Amino acid sequence: MAFLETKHVAIRGMSACVPKHTEKNIESYQKWGDYTKVRHLIGIDQRHVFNDGRCTSDLFYSAAEKLIEGLGWEKDEIDAIVCVTQTPDFIQPPVACILQNRLGLKEDCFAADIPHGCSGWVYGLSILCSLMQNGTMRKGLLFSGDTASKVASPEDKTTLPLFGDAGTCTALEYTDEEAPIKFALCTDGSGSDKIVIRDGGYRHPFSEHTLDMVDYGEGVARNNNHIFMDGMSVFSFAISKAPKQIKDLMEKYAISQEEIDYFVLHQANLFMDEKIRKKMKLSRDKVLYCIEEFGNTSSGSIPLTLVSRAKEDLENKHLKLIGSGFGVGLSWATAYFETDHIVCPDVIEI
């Protein structure tokens, strides 16, 4: 297990932005039949999705502007930004470079993308905290999120009802206080074909056949620019690996369940998350959900869940939290972190 403990970097704020437009699953699913049973399992009523040309960086930009304003930070104080996304505006350049300019940040600023999915917020946090913990970079922004709805085939009943769009911003600051954040980070690349968009990279470049729709039967048709997900394998991966990793992290750092205010799981689907919760014997009130309102928003889901479901606690209390993400890669990552009266604007809709 790859454990990591960073110090002297504190979370000062968290914001989330989603498209105003929503799609109701009861309507989107109509062409495949009755949604009731599916709803019972996946737990998603609606998803916020862009129905125009806007992109991940538009979500990040709005999330950042609101958060920087709330924090009262000067933009030229920001020394580093990291963008976690698998749906960048372009294959090149990095989203982080686009945002550095659009936000009006100084040139003297670290900016890099991390192309991770569901485990991405935790991975991004581990990287930005590691960068900042010796104090040469004092303020940083971690962005995470995807326009995940854009990768799902409209003719695939196994992915269309799942994915929503969201972009989030987490503000970090160097502090003389200890402020430990504890991580466990894992990878199983043998499952790299379990969640995949086949074409458009350089292994299978975009070609004249990329957009050919193939009917796989049972309500599944997609092209090679759409996401393929082996739902059964991903499910068995998540329910076996995620609880074990959370448990290992808590054992390694002697963290008890009782001291944790909230466990925030990647909002994959309700059945999977509930299975993980029950396996860990966590009470329902300790595990936050926002999946019914936003769907699976990839690396945006952990901060989106906190902002949308625990805003008052984040603003008014000192919280001890565990966040755990698992998915594409296959990759899974868990973090123990604390927040203390942080800035947390309402979820922004654009």
Partner 1 sequence: MDLNEFIANFADQFEDTDSSEITAATEFKNLDEWSSLIALSVIAMVDEEYDVTLKGDDIRGSVTVMDLYNIVKSRS
Binding mask 168-207 for partner 1 (x = CB under 8 A): --------------------------x-------------
Q: Which of 169, 104, 114 is nearest to 142 (CA)?
A: 169
Joined together, the tokens standing for residue 33 give: 């039949």
Q: What distance in Å separates the CA atoms of residue 339 and residue 320, rounded to the nearest whole number? A: 7
Q: Does 150 bind partner 1 (CB under 8 A)?
A: no
Cα–Cα distance between 171 and 29 in angstroms, integer? 37
Contact flag: residue 32 with partner 1 (CB under 8 A)? no
**Which H or E run contains 221?**
strand 220-222
The structure tokens 């590691």 sit at 130
Q: Does 248 bind partner 1 (CB under 8 A)?
A: no
Partnered with residue 197 across adjacent β-strands are: 227
Residues within window 214-233 making contact with partner 1, judged by CB under 8 A: 218, 230-233
Q: Which one of residues 239, 249, 268, 302 is an interface residue with partner 1 (CB under 8 A)?
A: 239
Rule CB under 8 A: say whether 240 interacts with partner 1: yes
Inter-residue contact 341 to 318 (CB < 8 Å) = yes
| Contact assessment for residue 200 and residue 227, using Cβ atoms and an 8 Å cutoff | no
In the bound complex, what is the minimum distance in angstroms from residue 122's beta carbon to partner 1?
Answer: 22
Active site residue 266: yes
**Complex with partner 1: residue 110 or 271, whichever CB lies closer:** 271
Residue 209 annotated among the catalytic residues of the structure: no
160 binds partner 1 per the rule CB under 8 A = no
Give min distance, CB of 240 to partner 1, in A. Answer: 5
The closest of 106, 127, 129, 113 to 11, measured between CA atoms, is 129
- Residues of this chain that interact with partner 1 (CB under 8 A) are 37-38, 41, 158, 194, 218, 230-233, 235-236, 239-240, 271-272, 275, 279
The catalytic site residues sit at 118, 266, 296
